[in-house]
Amino acid sequence: MADPMQLAENDPHRHVARLHGMLTDIVGYARKDIGEIAEPKAQALFETTAEVCTGLATAYEHYELRKPAWR
């Protein structure tokens, strides 16, 4: 795909690409933080955050690639 920032401001693919990147970043931060905290409930919360955001990031990726579910 082309650079999202070169797309028109009102092009949904520009916004989808930006949010996809943000979700991917959140997954990385959440998984990294799991190793830095000791409380099991907080670790579970961060793991759940990573899993939910992974699912959302996948949905955004499928939209970007125009997978059958988004046709």
Asked, for residue 47, whether it belongs to a domain, the answer is yes
Asked, for residue 28, whether it belongs to a domain, the answer is yes
Asked, for residue 36, whether it belongs to a domain, the answer is yes
Q: Please tell me whether residue 63 adopts helix, strand or coil conformation.
A: helix
Q: Please tell me whether residue 38 adopts helix, strand or coil conformation.
A: coil
Identify the pLDDT of residue 34: 96
pLDDT digits 0-9 by tens, 20-69: 999 999 999 999 999 999 999 999 999 999 999 999 999 999 998 888 77
Asked, for residue 2, whether it belongs to a domain, the answer is no
Asked, for residue 1, whether it belongs to a domain, the answer is no
Contact status, residue 19 vs residue 57, Cβ threshold 8 Å: no
Asked, for residue 71, whether it belongs to a domain, the answer is no
Please give the backbone phi and psi of residue 9, each rounded to the nearest 5 degrees, phi first: -55, -35
Structural domain count of the chain: 1
Residue 41 sits in which domain range? 12-66
Token code pair at residue 15: 């916004």
Asked, for residue 34, whether it belongs to a domain, the answer is yes
